[in-house]
Amino acid sequence: MLLPATPDRAAAVLPGLPLRSAIAHGCGRSYGDVALNPGGTLIDMRSLDRFVAFDAGTGLLTCETGVTLADILAAISRPAPDGSGWLLPVMPGTRFVTVGGAIANDVHGKNAHHLGSFGCHVEALELARSDGARLWCSRTENSDLFAATIGGLGLTGLILTATLRLRHVAGLGVETEDIRFARLDDFFTLDAESADGWEYTAAWIDCLASGDDLGRGLYMRARHAPGVSAAPPSRTPKLSVPVTPPLSLVNGLSVRAFNAMYWRKLGPSGRKSGVGSYEKVFFPLDAIGGWNRLYGPAGFYQFQAVVPPRDARAVTAALLSAIAAAGQGSMLVVLKRFGDVRSPGLMSFPMPGITLALDFPNRDAATLGLLSRLDAIVMEAGGRIYPAKDFSMSRGSFTQGYPALSVFERHLDPVMSSAFARRMGITEGEGIS
């Protein structure tokens, strides 16, 4: 593991490394192996944690790429007396990720149907390559490398510094509405109804419900409330799970009991509205550090796929039916829509359609068998699987899901490789397992 302290030192380490031996590492919040490199070198970028400049006229923020989204929110998301303030335009479900990781996976948030993915708001980035070059890349300068680096899984070099365009909102606080729905069709009705008026939308799904109840869940929508202020969320979790229990606390029984209770949590009316902080809406899992320990020593797999809008209803039903029939899955299931705001990234995951994300407690062959069935359904529908959340996709599925792969490969840095890149056949490891 290398831990460069400055952009200059990070840039200096690359030329000395063997071919296909190294990968950048941010906060390690990716669920799969995009930031893992057994037998090779990890370059931990978290010490590149300095802010460089902020222009309050344009909202342009330049920072080193080990800065986390939590750091940015703590620094800029302070409300003015009228409640207005600056915000990151796109935030994933956790704020404990680095700017470098957010760019390299081109992460998305609950407002993907309005503002696209993180990469849509990157104005420029400085990339270090193993030939010693340091290149500023943007839509107009080294634009091919810019497109390859956004969503490029760290394989084009080290991103040292980035300039992001922040947004100014009339109220940092949000107005929220949660609505219970009884079946999958109702999700699509609510989603169509909410598309224009609500910036942030997502649904929780009871993944064990089947038959007439298939796809039942809670629809959550939110939008900024002008004049309502909200303090920035903390830079670390307030609570944490201190130890790993000997067995998974997430199993068929606990999931069924939790889901039945959670689905009814809105009471007889099935609706609840409120106004308040964005923290709970955007980052529910950040409240408890180390929540992943609840899965016990065997851990869990995460799966996220997107399928095109045309057959989205039928394909989502097929995915949920396969999951319910297998009796697997967890409490953490999210269904949401991606819109047609295009990312500049060649290899970005978001595309127009419906995306389903969920965790599966690891039951070895039974879980891998289910993941392979889900993979087949997604491929048949013309969809794709998210590398940041994958540990089981086949090479064929990756190639099919990411048609720009051959163009992307022209921009690989010869020193970079990861467990994911080798598993997908993007790079072969030289002397690396």
Least distance between ligand FAD and beta carbon 218 (Å):
17
Least distance CB 47 / ligand FAD (angstroms): 11
For the packed helices 312-326 and 365-380, what is the interaxial angle rounded to 10 degrees? Answer: 170
What number of chain residues touch ligand FAD (CB under 6 A)? 31
Cα separation, 308 vs 287, whole angstroms: 33
Q: Which of the stretches 105-113, 169-177, 369-377, 401-409 binds ligand FAD when contact is defined by CB under 6 A?
A: 105-113
Half-sphere exposure at residue 77, Cβ-oriented, CA atoms within 13 angstroms: 25
Instruction: Spell out where 142-255 has E strands.
Output: 158-165, 167-169, 174-181, 200-205, 217-224, 239-240
Give the rounded distance of the alpha carbon of 139 from its chain centre: 23
DSSP state of 118: G
Q: Which is nearer to ligand FAD, 59 or 101 (CB)?
A: 101
Please, is 98 exposed, middle or buried when counting C-beta atoms within 10 Å of its C-beta (0-12, 13-18, 19+)?
buried
Does the footprint of ligand FAD cover residue 30 (CB under 6 A)? yes
Task: Please say whether the beta carbons of 199 and 87 come within 8 A.
Answer: no
Q: E-assigned strands of 9-121?
A: 22-25, 41-44, 51-55, 60-64, 85-87
Measure Cα distances from 110 to 31, 114, 139, 282 in Å: 19, 9, 25, 7
Nearer to ligand FAD by C-beta: 33 or 206? 33
Of the candidates 75, 111, 60, 76, the one whose C-alpha atom is nearest the C-alpha of residue 90 is 111
Range list of H helices, 80-183: 99-104, 112-115, 143-149
**Exactly one of 25, 129, 180, 384 binds ligand FAD (CB under 6 A); which one?**
25
What's the maximum distance between 2 C-alpha atoms anywhere in the chain?
65
Binding mask 49-88 for ligand FAD (x = CB under 6 A): ----------------x-----------------------
Which of 154, 217, 383, 429 touches ligand FAD (CB under 6 A)? 154
- Under the binding rule (CB under 6 A), the answer on residue 125 touching ligand FAD is no
Q: What's the min distance (Å) between Cβ of 139 and ligand FAD?
A: 19
- Residue of 4, 7, 59, 101 interacting with ligand FAD (CB under 6 A): 101
Q: Out of 79, 85, 92, 173, which residue is the one contacting ligand FAD (CB under 6 A)?
A: 92
Q: Compute the least distance from the CB of residue 213 to ligand FAD, in Å.
A: 26
Instruction: Tell me which of 11, 61, 97, 424 binds ligand FAD, using CB under 6 A.
Output: 97
DSSP code for 280: H
Site string for ligand FAD, 332-371 (x = CB under 6 A): ----------------------------------------
Smaller CB separation from ligand FAD, 158 or 214: 158
> Does 24 help bind ligand FAD (rule: CB under 6 A)?
yes
Closest by CA position to 274, among listed 228, 232, 337, 234: 228
Of 4, 26, 151, 233, which lies in the binding site for ligand FAD, with binding defined by CB under 6 A?
26
| Interface region with ligand FAD, contact rule CB under 6 A, candidates 25-33, 163-171, 213-221, 422-430 | 25-33
Q: Considering only residues 7, 40, 59, 100, which one is a binding residue for ligand FAD as defined by CB under 6 A?
A: 100
Q: Angle at the Cα of 53 (from 276 to 171), degrees rounded to 5?
A: 20
- Residues of this chain, 199-238, that bind ligand FAD according to CB under 6 A: none
Nearer to ligand FAD, 98 or 343 (CB): 98
CA 324 to mean position of chain CA atoms: 24
Indicate whether 28 belongs to the interface with ligand FAD (CB under 6 A): yes
Contact window for ligand FAD (CB under 6 A) among 18-26, 172-180, 225-233, 255-263: 18-26
Q: Is 105 in the site for ligand FAD (CB under 6 A)?
A: yes
| Other residues' Cβ atoms within 10 Å of the Cβ of residue 182 | 15
285 in contact with ligand FAD (CB under 6 A): yes
CB of 10 to ligand FAD, least distance (A): 8
Q: How far is the CB of 59 from ligand FAD (least distance, A)?
A: 22
Q: Give the dihedral of Cα atoms 120, 356, 205, 310; nearest 10 deg.
A: 90
Residues engaged in binding ligand FAD (CB under 6 A)? 23-30, 34-35, 45, 65, 92-94, 97-98, 100-102, 104-105, 107-109, 153-154, 158-159, 285, 388
